[in-house]
Amino acid sequence: MRVLQLPLPYCYAFEAPTFPDDRGFFSAPFHAPTFIDNVGYQLSIRQTNLSPTRRGAVRGVHFADVPPGQAKYVYAAHGRLLDVLVDLRVGSPTFSQYVAIELSLESGTAVFLPEGIGHLVIGFTDDAALSYLCSEAYNPPAEHGINPLDPALGLPFHDWCDNYDLGDPDALILSPKDKSAPTLAAAQESRLLPRYDECVAFYNGLRRTSSESSAR
């Protein structure tokens, strides 16, 4: 498995090999020893999600309070999607920046988003589905969003629509909740966003706990 450290601190992509034969192919998108060797702690899985997402549908930008936050390990279970990570951690050297990675069933690529990173998904095919391994169960009071169309995020929806033949950007499908989500500036002013130093302290705590568990 090839592992890439992404430009946003503490974010990773994992590229699992695929093994095809006459029946189809086999792949292991998540491998705990490889994850621990690179991230530094074990991913505690409290919930799994499956999210079919039609072509041109947008989900996000979503994030959760830290602590405990909700780390996500995601990969395409079917079809093709664009997975977008947005750094919402105030004080991060890459605050408000994003990384976009195309995911597909055939690619074997998975993405790890630690606590404090915002998440957005765009469906490229009508049969697209994203699989999530989540570190915490869904907790509605702790879940928040940023309007994905906020110019401060700089998300290039026009370019993505052109490059992936999604048609008119104004025709992208967003939920009413995501359309009415606050801007980045409004969320920061209301102190809704996670702090980078608190997130890093949280990650370090996970490393200490994982190390202590391994030593027993």
74, 111 contact by CB (below 8 A): yes
pLDDT for residue 213 is more than 80: no
The catalytic position among 132, 144, 196, 203 is 132
Place 211 in a pLDDT band, splitting at 50, 70 and 90: confident
Any alpha helices (H) in the chain, and if so which ranges?
A: 32-39, 157-163, 176-179, 184-189, 196-215
Known catalytic residue: 132? Answer: yes
pLDDT value of residue 214: 66
Model confidence, pTM: 0.95
Distance of alpha carbon 121 from alpha carbon 2, whole angstroms:
23
For the chain, what is the mean pLDDT?
Answer: 96
Q: If pLDDT is split at 50, 70 and 90, which confidence band does 86 have?
A: very high
Percent of the chain with pLDDT over 70: 98
Q: CA torsion sign, 47 to 41 to 213 to 64?
A: negative
Q: What is the pLDDT of residues 136-146, one digit of tens each?
A: 999 999 999 99
Structure tokens at 18: 């695929």
- Confidence grade of residue 216 (pLDDT, cut at 50, 70, 90): low
User: What is d(CA 73, CA 110) in angstroms, rounded to the nearest whole number?
Assistant: 7
145: buried, middle or exposed (CB in 10 Å: 19+, 13-18, 0-12)?
Answer: buried
Mean pLDDT confidence for 189-204 = 98
Model pLDDT, residue 100: 98
119 belongs to the catalytic site: no
- Answer for the pair 136, 64: CB distance below 8 angstroms, yes or no: yes
CATH superfamily of 2-18+27-215: Jelly Rolls (2.60.120.10)
**Active-site pick, 62, 98, 144, 196:** 62
Q: Where do the DSSP E strands lie in the chain?
A: 2-5, 12-15, 18-21, 24-27, 47-52, 58-64, 72-78, 80-87, 98-104, 109-113, 117-123, 129-134, 143-145
How is residue 70 written in tokens? 């909700």
Q: Would you kindly state where each structural domain of the chain is located, as residue ranges?
A: 2-18+27-215
Q: What is the pLDDT of residues 151-174, one digit of tens each?
A: 999 999 999 999 999 999 999 999
Q: Evaluate if residue 187 carries a pLDDT over 80.
A: yes
Residue 210's pLDDT is: 81
